[in-house]
Amino acid sequence: MAIFDPTSETLEKKATRDGYGAALMELGKSREDIVVLEADLSGSTKTKKFGDTWPERFFNFGVAEQNVVGHAAGLAMAGLVPFASSFAIFLTGRAWEIVRNSVAYPHLNVKLAATHAGITLGEDGASHQIIEDIAIMRAIPGMTILVPADYNMAKAAIHAAADFQGPVYIRLGRPALPLVYDETEKFEIGKARVLQQGDEILFCATGVLVHEAFKAAKQLEKQLNKKITVLDFGTIKPLDTETLLKFADPAKVVFTFEEHNIMGGFGSAIAETLSEQLPRKVVRIGLQDVFGQSGKVPELLQHYRLNAECIVEDVAKIIKGL
């Protein structure tokens, strides 16, 4: 599946939010039912070009995220496919009750495209670095959650969301990330992707940490003399239980990687599934129930031990202790 050497220092980098903007332009040309709603952040969420090209299908509500989501619900009831955009902290936090009651409860065809999620938002600090959004959206019945690993998967995920019937939350980021996939790869909602196969150790990663986990796996293989299975869960809900159980079966330990609080997030989803269907030791690597802080992205990943170098050190210690 992957098209790159994760240890290379020369990988091309692009932001997943840019993939969102590019996909909207493609959809705008091919589908007249696509509309975009904004909360005065179109430059940052990369929807501005869509608005400039099709102003009749672009609605900016200012700093009023609840209005954005409420109007998206109305447009969906009229048969359109609305993409509601804002920073993740506002779209899932400030507008949560509207998402729950006006979008999810009637199961409307609204796409919530949330950018600037997680600590990789960087210098804006803890007030804007939402690390609870996956947990918040997982708890809403019927909500589908997508977390693409790179620019190309973000583009593909937006196309998949547009074709999907029902509410979808798409988690997107601010920084440029290494490209994990080439532009021909498709995004299949509800299916994990196998980056490589091993046996005794299973890495399950999502979003920003797919590249970091894969890079760490390659480095660890040399230390441990063991091949590590690496899975990319671009869909967190519904979770690809079939693939998880298949590769967890021969594993002695399962590691999960997420740029999110380990409470209620991706790692929790993996642990919940395995505890009920195939008990295994699960180690959740993510934000350890702490808030983020202001800083540059590499520094933050280092501080919270979420980069490949820290993953190698921490996983090696755990493996030796088994």
Single-letter amino acid, residue 314: D
Structural domain range at position 21: 13-178
Instruction: Output the CA torsion 18→20→26→30 (10° steps).
Output: -170
Same domain as 172, residue 62: yes
Same domain as 153, residue 28: yes
The conformation of residue 2, written as its DSSP 8-state character, comes to -
Residue 70 falls inside a structural domain: yes
* Domain tally, the chain: 2
Same domain as 100, residue 172: yes
Same domain as 302, residue 231: yes
Last residue of a domain, one of 134, 152, 178: 178
Residue 40 confidence (pLDDT): 95
Same domain as 162, residue 19: yes
What's CA 165's distance to the chain center, in Å? 19
Beta bridge partners of 81: 34
Is the pTM value of this prediction over 0.85?
Answer: yes
Instruction: Give one DSSP letter per residue of 150-176, joined into a string.
Output: SHHHHHHHHHHHHHS-S-EEEE--SSE
Residue 2 confidence (pLDDT): 54
Residue 5 falls inside a structural domain: no
**Catalytic annotation, pick one of 38, 65, 258, 259:** 65
Burial 267-301 (b: 16+ CB within 10 A, else e): bbbbbebbeeeeebebbbbbbeeeebebbebeebb
C-alpha distance across the termini of the chain, in Å: 31
Q: Which CATH number characterizes residue 48's domain?
A: 3.40.50.970
Mean pLDDT by 10 residues, the chain (322 residues): 70 95 98 97 96 98 96 98 97 96 98 97 95 98 98 98 98 94 93 94 97 95 91 98 97 97 98 97 97 96 97 94 73
Residue 235 falls inside a structural domain: yes
Same domain as 199, residue 172: no
Same domain as 201, residue 160: no
Same domain as 43, residue 79: yes
Last residue of a domain, one of 178, 201, 219: 178
Residue 47 confidence (pLDDT): 97
Same domain as 117, residue 55: yes
Q: Which CATH number characterizes residue 283's domain?
A: 3.40.50.920
Burial 148-167 (b: 16+ CB within 10 A, else e): bbbbbbbbbbbbbbbebebb
CA distance linking residue 216 with residue 224, whole number of Å: 12
Residue 43 falls inside a structural domain: yes
On whether the CB atoms of residues 33 and 81 are closer than 8 A, the answer is yes
Residue 3 confidence (pLDDT): 59
CA distance linking residue 318 with residue 298, whole number of Å: 24
71's CB contacts (< 8 A; 6+ apart) are: 37, 59, 61, 82
Residue 205 falls inside a structural domain: yes
Same domain as 168, residue 37: yes
Same domain as 142, residue 284: no
C-alpha closest to that of 130 among 192, 174, 176? 174
- Annotated active-site residue 132? The verdict is no
CA distance linking residue 188 with residue 76, whole number of Å: 23
Last residue of a domain, one of 152, 178, 204: 178
On whether the CB atoms of residues 263 and 286 are closer than 8 A, the answer is no
Residue 277 falls inside a structural domain: yes
Residue 1 falls inside a structural domain: no
Residue 3 falls inside a structural domain: no
Same domain as 219, residue 249: yes
Residue 230 confidence (pLDDT): 97
